[in-house]
Amino acid sequence: MRFLFFLVFGLGASLTVAAQTFAIDYRRAMQARDTAKTRKVLAAWQLKEPQNPDWYVAKFNYQLRQAYRVIVGNAPAAGRGVAVQQKDKAIGSMNEGYEPKLLAAARTTLREGIKVAPERLDMRFGLAKSYEMTHEPAAQIEVLTVALAERKAGGKPWRWQEGKPLPEPEAVFLPENLEEYMLPYWQADTPEDAEVARQLAELVNEYYPASSLGPFNLGMYYTMTGQEEKGYSFFQQANTRRPSDWQTLANLTRLAIKLNHKTEAQRYLADLQKLPEGRPAAADLGKEVRKMK
């Protein structure tokens, strides 16, 4: 079972003394799976600090746990479900899921927390992740789009768990995390999922134009969908923003070969050969470049 914020409280200086005490009690109750104790701690915490964003995080985690279900049935595995095997034969399936009303209540809690502390990126990301977990990409993208638009419109600098600064500069942290959201969709390897990855890549490209991750992933999308010239153009943009990335150079070399751009293929191959991590790919691609006329 996955939790978006499960036991994130580091009990650091950014938490008030009261919050530290409640966080300790909450963690112990959650670890013990003591529902009555958890609810008691949350009620007391809310009474003491009704505007503490971390209370909303804690309440959300509790509600998410309550909503979680494992569904075992005789039907074949669908989507991301797991087939149940017996003697090498599928006899049913097991799927993760969430009770709809309880899940909706958990999301409402997180949305209320975002109203209290709109700069808390951990809550924004958590809400987006909850939609990924239930395979609702349109809602996931909407949450992320609203967050990025509000920040661009003059929102406060992002804060992370416990209200701490982001672990890395925003221009690095946001694109990297948005790319992580793309991974399940790339791995699903369907046209529909690839389209979701494209939309996420467009967000990176729009809001973080200095990052190479937007054009790199757009290059992946257009190459995978048979639009090689467009993919090639995006990989070139990625290479301009971040020269000497071996994966970008490998893709550029491969596409230059396919599109019969011999001079460019030779140039990208030479750059790829200079990078230790790129030499295995360069060895294979070099054979193809030498065949070009």
Q: What whole-number distance in Å separates Cα of residue 239 and Cα of residue 219?
A: 11
- Please write the tens of the pLDDT for every residue from 199-215: 999 999 999 999 999 99
First to last CA, the chain: 55
Return the percentage of the chain with pLDDT > 70, whole number.
86
Question: Could you tell me if residue 113 is inside a domain?
Answer: no
The residue among 10, 57, 6, 53 whose CA lies nearest residue 33 is 6
Question: Could you tell me if residue 283 is inside a domain?
Answer: yes
- Please write the tens of the pLDDT for every residue from 114-149: 999 999 999 999 999 999 999 999 999 999 999 999
Question: Could you tell me if residue 17 is inside a domain?
Answer: no
- Please write the tens of the pLDDT for every residue from 143-193: 999 999 999 999 899 999 989 999 999 999 999 999 999 999 999 999 999
Question: Could you tell me if residue 276 is inside a domain?
Answer: yes
pTM of the model: 0.86
- Residues 121/170, Cβ–Cβ less than 8 Å: no
Question: Could you tell me if residue 286 is inside a domain?
Answer: yes
Question: Could you tell me if residue 289 is inside a domain?
Answer: yes
Phi, psi for residue 14 in degrees, rounded to 5: -75, -20
Neighbour tally for 29: CB within 10 Å: 19
Phi, psi for residue 188 in degrees, rounded to 5: -65, -30
- Residues 141/127, Cβ–Cβ less than 8 Å: no
Question: Could you tell me if residue 147 is inside a domain?
Answer: no
Question: Could you tell me if residue 180 is inside a domain?
Answer: no
By residue range, what is the domain housing residue 291? 243-293
C-alpha 184, offset from chain centre: 8
